[in-house]
Amino acid sequence: GAVVSQHPSRVICKSGTSVKIECRSLDFQATTMFWYRQFPKKSLMLMATSNEGSKATYEQGVEKDKFLINHASLTLSTLTVTSAHPEDSSFYICSARAGGPEVGEQFFGPGTRLTVL
């Protein structure tokens, strides 16, 4: 099956620092990658959708200058949380889709737990 990796799995940082999270599709080319965040006992919240080689599309309420997304290749997307604050502490999950939107199924990475002190 399709495998998506995320790195790091867990990160603790001080307030004001920036954190980069990598998402890689290991055995397929991901035309589209998605970034979600999930607070405890809450549902997944889509933050942005990124297509390889183009700018990410952010969901309403998500600050694109704070959450920088780069989808430089068909196997790698990165999310950078800039000037992180305690309220940014959350579980960040990426997913990848191999084909067009009609394909539907997204393959999820294992997630990154961010704690901002």
Partner 1 sequence: GQNIDQPTEMTATEGAIVQINCTYQTSGFNGLFWYQQHAGEAPTFLSYNVLDGLEEKGRFSSFLSRSKGYSYLLLKELQMKDSASYLCAVTDSNYQLIWGAGTKLIIKP
> Residue 38 and residue 4: Cα distance in Å, rounded?
18
Answer for which of 46, 62, 68, 76 binds partner 1 (CB under 8 A) is 46
**In 1-117, beta strands by DSSP E:** 4-7, 10-13, 19-25, 32-38, 45-51, 57-58, 67-73, 76-81, 90-97, 107-108, 112-116
93 binds partner 1 per the rule CB under 8 A:
yes
Please identify which residue in 14, 43, 60, 61 interacts with partner 1, judged by CB under 8 A.
43
Binding partner 1 by CB under 8 A: which of 58, 109, 114, 116? 109
For binding to partner 1 (CB under 8 A), which residues are involved?
41-44, 46, 91, 93, 101-102, 104-111, 113
